[in-house]
Structure 1
Amino acid sequence: MKKWLFILGVLLWTSCFDDKGNYDYIDLGELTVDGIITDQWYELFAYSDTLKIPIEIHSTRYTEGEEPYTYEWKFMSQSSQTWDERNEPIDYTVSREKNLAIVPQLTAGEYFGFFIVTDTILGLQEKVDFFVRLRTTVSEGWMILCEEKGEARLDWIMNLTEAEERISRNIWKGNNFKLGKPYGLSYARTRPKMSNRYVFTENGTFNLDGEDAHVGEENDVRWIFGDSPDIVHGRAAEVAFARGNKLDMIITRDGNLYARNPLSTGDIYGFPINVTSDGQRFEVAPYFGHRSGAVGGGNVIIYDNTNKRFMALDDDNKKIPHVLTFSGGTADFQAETGRDMVYMDWTKDNYTFALLEDPEDEEMYVYGIGVGDNGINERKYYMKLNRPNKDKITHVAFHLYYRYLFYSTENAVYQFDMEYPETPAKAVLSFQGETITTLKVSKLALYIAFQPWEKLRENQLVVGSIVNDKDEDECGVMRIYDVPTLMGPLEKKKEYTELGKIVDIVYRDRD
């Protein structure tokens, strides 16, 4: 895709000069430009890093030291317009010096770069193409929601390379806007260049600014609710890419489910849709299940806390939930479970897994649903969670590809192999003197060309904890573990300390 975008961008750019310029674009042959890297990205931070590209020009046409040239450096974003409203070519010039040395004052994103040398005597030009990727410290990376003195705080870890990162602590410190107590984060991608970065707090739900991650009245989610409520207490949000109907959904603290179409300009969250066809309202658990990917026809799976059953939204515009139906499968269970939802999530290989607790004996059960196209759902896994003890489970995560269930107690992490349910879950991590506050896996966006080391993120378990006897402004610890096959020991990849009092951790992909 990027190759085609590049070709299109170059053609559009060239057409600007063909149609509107005063020069002929040909290869001079006798003139060469050295110093520009053309087969790799120039990567740097916008507004802070300096991009330096020294140039050497060689020509057999003129004697040494004679350079009757003018120079232009241009950056054009993949999403930029080529023509303005007056049908004139837009000038994306960032410098007219021979050697480039600028601090890019541009938004984060990927840019086509052009260096144009003009021979002022002959009126001919030579053009060299290159690529620039601009970031900000918050354009991608780990969003770490913390609490400090009863207020929300945000720390951020951005991975520059596999071995190098940039850590920003308390990036909201200078923000006078009060969020109150923090509850959680949600990152949902609607399409390239668009995503929801919701933070759920005591004073409402806010969509973090895409450029600097600030929060304020202007990005309060209540403004995209039809009835403009005084406050929106969100608990979970998701965009179901698996549906041709593209549902952008949010579940609130009172168990209401709202949906809108993120691809429709001006679409809003209207009335709650957690109502059956006969008008019965039910409370929705704060979790979603669906297919992975951008294909249509699959159900969105939700859970009815009131009647203790799996429900589904079809791939249509009606938005009326109904009891989930199954088309065979190797496991035996019904949509009406009679049990309490503990946790549910979808995986990258089109499964939705749920952990439910029986209210009578407090035993826990794993349900695995294969989510197919055209509303076809298969019962694939059903088993009792074989626990070595009855310690309270505080957090749960399902591996995105392996059939592993991870859960935490106060200060330990357990791993359960769903392929061998007769084997008890085993303790794989222990943190004495700490309290585990979150377990997470990270799902990569489908439309981004990630580096090999970035792709490994989908095979990692993230553990957030707090050191019990440290001050809350530096008690947070975030650890990242590689997860091997065959229930092998977890391998610690990274450890970050002196973070805030961690509440939640979510990775934001670059847009």
Structure 2
Amino acid sequence: MKKTIFKLMPVVGLCAAMSLTSCSDDKGNYTYSDANIITIENIPALTSVLANAEYVDLKPVVTSSIDGDVKADDSNYSFAYMRKDSDGKWVKLGDQKDLYVLAEMNAGTNNCYFAVTDNRTGVQTICPFDVRATTITSEGWLVLCNEGQDEKVRMDMLSQISLDRIMPAYNVLPMAEDVPAMHHATKIGYVRTYGGFSNIFMFSSTDSYVVPTADAYAYGELGKLTLADEFKANQFITKSNDHIVNHVTLAYQAMGRPNAAICVSSEGNAYAYNYKSTNMSAAFEYPINTSTRGEAPEYKVAPYVGATELRFDGLNGGYACALLYDVDNKRFIGLNSKGAANDDPAGITQKCAPLADPAEGKKFSFQTGMDLVCMLNTAQSSGTVYSIMQDGNKRHVYAVSLLTDEFKQLDAFMDIQAPDFDKATCFAASSQYAVIYYAYLLAELI
């Protein structure tokens, strides 16, 4: 690959008193020779490596228009590799023609250049390039795993090393000795908040934690998990003995930041956190599966949250919608914060309400009388929530739109006849199309 070449030429100053007429005294005492044009090839524009683990390995081809192929031991030439550090200063990586050096650099894109100097003239030719350094846990996809028969929770990662290189990394989250082992993983959560920080959450049926990272934006290397990172200790303002197993962020359009979040427990309680609030709840507080803020829960909810994009209308006019399911009364309920000012005197953002069937366009009854199998969210742009219902030996799929402050019934797909859909235990919804994926166990292994 040929690179863009920049030449640094020495400049000889002329005496300002010299007049143009002095050219008449020119005796022609000049020596003319061909310029030495240097080309540098075989240095990629971008090299991707694992920081502090892999080597930057470059073998450039240097060609002189006068001397031909420039060898590493040619005394007429000197070489230098330079990198810009975090302070904006250029530091030397190497002074040989070929570079083989450990990538001891910060994660991210590092600006570098390779310089070839003709020692006879001082003319320097520069070839710029970048080194993209990543860490094993700084970019990729976190995977929460259940290990062994006791389903011990383990955090793995599919690490994105480069555009065409993905590698698995196992057990990437170190834990302090006093952190109890977690069992039966349920979900990984993520939230970007107003205060210049972000959080990654890990949930299991026994314990839940905020995952520590090297920076406030949850973009850097994973840190060591300690007891201080326990989810309820960080996110709740009231004491709760519940086991939090699910967390969903309700986001609005401005910069992708959330207005609220809902978490649910295996005990059947739901909690709301209003990130935009000033006088409202600044963390999760009392269960919202109630008709009166702060009162005892009146029913249990399923461990699913149907989430939507939060609409933003002015500084205080944003509102969030969330669809939940009352397993005691077998009905859909909803959280709708439209109209809640910052002081929220009616406690709108801290209580749920049963959903009434629409007067027109009814596809099904929100009072289903059925068991909820699973609830699936689609991309925020479409705002559709799919609920899979168990009706005896039949399974139906109800589609509800939450793009506005209404819980709009879109469709009801009755008695799904897809192969073995009635046996399915794992589900996912396409982020772009009206497609549900499912999986089921063929047979028990003997």
Q: TM-score, normalised by structure 1?
A: 0.58
- Greater Cα radius of gyration, structure 1 or 2: 2
SS in 1 for 2:306: coil
Query: 1:48 is matched by which residue type in structure 2?
Result: A
- For residue 263 of structure 1, report the CA deviation from its aligned partner: 12
Query: Percent of counterpart pairs with the same letter?
Result: 12
2:172 equivalent to 1:181: no
Letter in structure 2 aligned against 1:274: I
| SS class of match (1:223) | helix
- Pairs within 5 Å for 1:154-169: 154-158=155-159, 166-169=167-170
Q: Given the superposition, is the C-alpha separation of residues 222 and 101 from structure 1 closer, same or farther in structure 2, using an over 3 Å criterion?
A: farther
Query: Hey, what does 2:153 align to over in structure 1?
Result: 152
Is contact 1:238-1:248 (8 Å) kept?
A: yes
Kindly tell me: are residues 93 and 300 of structure 1, through their superposed partners in 2, closer, same or farther at Cα, counting changes over 3 Å? farther
From 205, 209, 226, give the equivalent of 1:205.
209
Which segment drifts farther, 183-192 or 122-131?
122-131
Partner of residue 443, structure 2: 432
Amino acid at match of 2:264: I
- Answer yes or no: is 1:215 the counterpart of 2:217: no
Give the number of the structure with larger relative contact order, counting CA–CA contacts within 8 Å between residues 6 or more apart: 1
Question: 1:368: Cα distance to partner?
Answer: 0.5
Q: Partner of 1:101 in structure 2? A: 100
Decide whether aligned partners of structure 1 residues 377 and 168 sit closer, same or farther in structure 2, where only a CA change above 3 A counts.
same
Secondary structure of 2:233's counterpart equals: helix
2:388 aligned partner: 355
Aligned-CA RMSD value: 4.6
Specify the alignment match of 2:399 in structure 1.
368
Correspondence for 2:54? 49
Counterpart contact for 1:74–1:95, Cα < 8 Å? no
Letter in 1 for 2:53: S
**Corresponding letter in the other structure for 1:386:** I
From 370, 377, 383, give the equivalent of 1:346.
Answer: 377
Of the three residues 261, 267, 271, the one matched with 2:275 is: 261
Which sections of structure 1, spanning at least 5 residues, go unmatched?
Answer: 1-25, 77-88, 412-430, 434-467, 470-511
Contact 1:344 1:355 in 2 (8 A): yes
Amino acid paired to 1:375:
D
- In the alignment of these two chains, the number of paired residues is 371
- Aligned pair partner of 1:239 in 249, 252, 256: 249
Alignment of 1:63-462 (within 5 A): 65-67=75-77, 71-74=81-84, 89-91=87-89, 93=91, 95-98=93-96, 99-106=98-105, 108=107, 110-115=108-113, 117=115, 126=126, 128-130=128-130, 132-136=132-136, 139-141=139-141, 143-148=143-148, 150=150, 151-158=152-159, 166-170=167-171, 176=177, 177-188=179-190, 190=192, 194-207=198-211, 209=213, 211-212=221-222, 214-227=224-237, 229=239, 233-242=243-252, 245-254=258-267, 255-261=269-275, 269-272=283-286, 274=288, 278-279=292-293, 281-282=297-298, 283-291=300-308, 299-305=320-326, 307=329, 308-314=331-337, 318=344, 319-323=349-353, 331-348=362-379, 349-357=382-390, 361=392, 363-372=394-403, 374-386=404-416, 394-409=425-440, 411=441, 431-433=442-444
TM-score normalised per structure 2: 0.65
Contact 1:42/1:131, CA 8 A, preserved across alignment:
yes
Post-superposition Cα deviations, 1:184-237, rounded to whole Å, max 9, x if no partner, equal 222335389945241325244342645247533243223313447586621101
For the residues of structure 2 that align with 1:312 and 1:223, how far apart are their CA atoms?
24
State the SS of the aligned residue for 2:8: coil
Determine the C-alpha separation between the residues in 1 that align with 2:92 and 2:181: 39
Match of 2:217 in 1: none
Query: Is 1:227–1:270's contact at 8 Å kept on the other side of the alignment?
Result: yes
Instruction: State the AA in 2 paired with 1:221.
Output: F
Contact 2:188 2:201 survives alignment (8 Å): yes
Q: Distance in 1 between matches of 2:143 and 2:111?
A: 30
2:250·2:261 contact (CA, 8 Å) conserved in 1? Answer: yes
Residue 246 of structure 1, CA deviation:
3.0
Q: CA deviation at 1:352?
A: 1.0
Contact 1:241–1:295 under 8 Å retained in 2: no
For 2:399, give the aligned amino acid.
Answer: G
Q: Secondary structure at the match of 1:310?
A: strand
Conservation of the 8 A alpha-carbon contact between 1:243 and 1:294? yes
Residue 75 of structure 2 aligns with an amino acid whose one-letter code is G
Inter-partner Cα distance in structure 2 for 1:114 and 1:262: 42
